[in-house]
Every structure is written in C-alpha cells, then in structure tokens.
Structure 1
C-alpha cells in the first residue's frame, strides 16, 4: 500500500496538470508497479484523500483527482 501511495504522489507532483483522471493515474502507477490492480490503486488514492494529500474534484460528469494546494482546487 505504501508503495502505491508513493507512486501516486510521485505522479501527482510530477504531472503538468493540476487535476487528472483516475485512468491517467492508474496508467502511471502501473508503469512503476506493473502488478498493481485497479482496486488497490483506488484504495491507495482514497487513503491519500483521507490523509488530505489528494483531493477530489468533480466536473459534474466525472470525478478527477488533484494534489491538495495545487491549481485552483482550493477556496481562496
């Protein structure tokens, strides 16, 4: 689980975009950890949200993830 969380945070911090879809995050994590399953990645992402390192961003039709404090995802 910690390896997955680290891979997600590495992707989130190195991503040029402030918000990203789960599929993009999943693809990046699976490049680092090839045997990672979607469900495990989702659980790790949820854990990071609970730890307030990542946040959800709803576009209305889909949910995206974002790195907390990056981009226009926070109330100013």
Structure 2
C-alpha cells in the first residue's frame, strides 16, 4: 500500500500545474486514485519521499508545502 501511495504522490507532483503544493491537495489527488488511503499513511509516504530526496519541503514561513525535487524554483537550487 505504501508503495502505491508514493507512486500516486509522484504522479501528482509530476503532472500538477503548480511546482509547489499543499498537503491537502496532494491528499485529494491520492484519494482519487486510492480511496482507501488514510491521511496518516499519505503523510508517512510523503515524508519517506522527502527522506529519499524525491520530494522537498518548501516553507513559506507560515505554511509548509511540498515540491518535486528539481522542478520549479526552490531555495536549494
């Protein structure tokens, strides 16, 4: 299940019009593909992708957003 969630997150990140997105947007996209996915599982999968350096965190100061590593302009590029 975790691998399926990670795959759905990466597909969303690659096809999203925006280069940075909120967790809630990512969660909705995953639940369209995997309706039984739980919020906690999606959060864990997203964190694993950050640890694997496939996704990155982007902080706006008040909110943390996610982005696909290497896509768009980010602080570490």
- Give the TM bin, normalised by the shorter chain: over 0.9
Equivalenced residue count is: 76
Secondary structure of the residue that 2:35 maps to in structure 1?
coil
Deviation at 1:73, TM superposition (A): 1.0
Aligned-partner Cα distance in 1 for 2:14–2:23: 15
**Which portions of structure 1, spanning 4 or more consecutive aligned residues, are displaced by more than 4 angstroms?**
none
- Please give the secondary structure, in 2, of the residue aligned with 1:29: helix
| d(CA) in 2 for partners of 1:63, 1:75 | 15
Question: TM-score, normalization: structure 2?
Answer: 0.95
Matches within 5 A, 1:1-76: 1-76=2-77
User: Which sections of structure 2, spanning at least 5 residues, go unmatched?
Assistant: none
Alpha-carbon distance, 1:74 to partner: 4.5
Structure 1: 5+ residue stretches without partners? none
* Secondary structure of the structure 2 residue equivalent to 1:12: helix
State the Cα RMSD in Å.
0.8
SS of the residue 1:5 aligns to: helix
